[in-house]
Amino acid sequence: MASATTTYSTATVSLPRRFLNLIPGVLLLAAVGFAGKFTEQSINAYGKAHHLTLPNIEYVLWAIVFGLLLANIFGVPEVFRPGVATYEFWLKGGIVLLGVRFLLGDVAKLGGISLAAVVIELALSIAIMSALGKWFGLTPKLTSLLAIGSSICGVSAIIAAKGAIDADDEDASYAIAAILAIGAVSLFCFPLIGHALGLSDHAFGLWVGLAVDNTAEATAAGALYSDAAGRIAVLAKTARNATIGFVVLGYALYWARKAQAKAVANKAAFLWQKFPKFVLGFLAVSILATIGFFTKPQIGNIANLSRWAFLLTFAGVGLRTNVREMSKQGFRPLVVGTLGELSIAVITLGLVFGAGRMFGL
């Protein structure tokens, strides 16, 4: 991991050189992602040719598993790391492009339901995390980071909050490791639970978007269930991400009042700085699709571009998951995070059932 951190030290490297440094890793993402897609297609073709009913395992799972195996058996060599780190860029680009598959009315309806559920989830998860943190003797700021990470959007929220509440580097590191470990497990567990409960695509997508912390994992878990569930998961998660600024601001004001963080001089500027800008891109593309700016084949092309971007993301999710490093991190933050996440999963499932009854999801 220490070597991974040095990879990011690119301040003295020229721009063209930095761009070239990305190429090997991006090619690795493409190779792993394509291997996943090829495996799915090959198994399906084999089943058809031999008249066998084989389980349809989505390319998403293959891409993640291949990435996980590569990273944890052989390790990701230094030369690939800058490019692998771009998986988040592909994720955000993919979300913007996915806007083409949503009419603004759907965005308003599902986004509104998600936001209402996020507010309830937020209040409950912060209360649960705070109680668990106290019970397990975690530092108050580590508890704050875990609460922010689990209620809003995982690593991005923790990073955004770390500076705002003047948290220790070690606390941020523990919180990130705990959220990543839980996210990796959630990715595989949620689809199994969803199938066991017989959730509809809409209900499952909404549940995953509300309960799985990292956007990449939420997108992957949704896509593992079905294409429609993947789209709804992205929409619900995007609505959740949009609240990041408000929550971080709330925590910043709380810790500033306790004289343990810098005061926030300009709240509007703070909110804008923390706001995930790709949400605006997603809305812009959705508006264009709604007003009929694109023809049907063009919508298909843009949606497929989004799929390719997600393919690279899913490969990155596997490649950046280092099981050994995660196991080295603190035990107690992981326990608190896991208990908190379990509670949040149950609460959000209840919210999804409630929303299903009210809005017929």
Q: Which one among 80, 174, 207, 314 touches another protein, defined by CB under 8 A?
A: 174
- The CA distance from 67 to 33, in Å, is 8
Q: Which one among 281, 287, 335, 353 touches another protein, defined by CB under 8 A?
A: 281
- The CA distance from 72 to 49, in Å, is 34
8 binds another protein (CB under 8 A): yes
Q: Which one among 32, 152, 158, 223 touches another protein, defined by CB under 8 A?
A: 158
User: What is the footprint of another protein within residues 312-351 (CB under 8 A)?
Assistant: 325, 328-330
Q: Which one among 42, 44, 260, 304 touches another protein, defined by CB under 8 A?
A: 304
Question: How many other C-beta atoms are found inside a 10 Å radius of the C-beta of residue 156?
Answer: 18
Residue (of 31, 24, 18, 247) closest to 144 by Cα position: 247
Distances (CA, A) of 58 to 26, 97, 221, 311: 22, 21, 11, 11
305 binds another protein (CB under 8 A): yes
Q: Where are the beta strands (DSSP E) in 145-234?
A: none
215 binds another protein (CB under 8 A): no
3 binds another protein (CB under 8 A): no
First CA to last CA distance, the chain: 43
354 Cβ contact list (under 8 Å, min separation 6): none
Burial of 9 (0-12, 13-18, 19+ CB in 10 A): exposed
**Window contacting another protein (CB under 8 A); options: 71-79, 160-168, 201-209, 228-236:** 160-168
Q: 100 vs 129, which CB is nearer to another protein?
A: 100
Q: 194 vs 237, which CB is nearer to another protein?
A: 237
Q: Which one among 49, 73, 74, 169 touches another protein, defined by CB under 8 A?
A: 169
- The CA distance from 245 to 251, in Å, is 10
Q: 243 vs 343, which CB is nearer to another protein?
A: 243
User: What is the footprint of another protein within residues 82-111 (CB under 8 A)?
Assistant: 88-89, 91-93, 95-97, 100
The first and second tokens of residue 70, run together, are 């590569």
Distances (CA, A) of 60 to 31, 64, 94, 312: 13, 6, 14, 10
The length of the chain in residues reads 361
**Window contacting another protein (CB under 8 A); options: 103-111, 207-215, 295-303, 347-355:** 295-303
For residue 213, the minimal CB distance to another protein (Å) is 15
Q: Which one among 30, 308, 339, 356 touches another protein, defined by CB under 8 A?
A: 308
- The CA distance from 203 to 90, in Å, is 26
Question: How many other C-beta atoms are found inside a 10 Å radius of the C-beta of residue 23?
Answer: 13
Residue (of 239, 157, 246, 242) closest to 206 by Cα position: 239
Q: 97 vs 344, which CB is nearer to another protein?
A: 97
- The CA distance from 309 to 320, in Å, is 17
**Window contacting another protein (CB under 8 A); options: 43-51, 203-211, 260-268, 277-285:** 277-285
35 binds another protein (CB under 8 A): no
For residue 190, the minimal CB distance to another protein (Å) is 24
Within 10-148, residue ranges assigned H as helices are: 15-49, 59-69, 81-84, 87-98, 104-135, 140-148
Q: Are 326 and 181 in contact (CB under 8 A)?
A: yes
For residue 11, the minimal CB distance to another protein (Å) is 9
Q: Which one among 159, 264, 335, 339 touches another protein, defined by CB under 8 A?
A: 159
For residue 170, the minimal CB distance to another protein (Å) is 5
307 binds another protein (CB under 8 A): yes
The first and second tokens of residue 191, run together, are 């689809």
Binding site for another protein (CB under 8 A): 1-2, 4-6, 8-9, 88-89, 91-93, 95-97, 100, 155-156, 158-160, 162-163, 168-174, 176-177, 273, 276-278, 280-281, 284-285, 288, 293-294, 297-298, 300-302, 304-305, 307-308, 325, 328-330
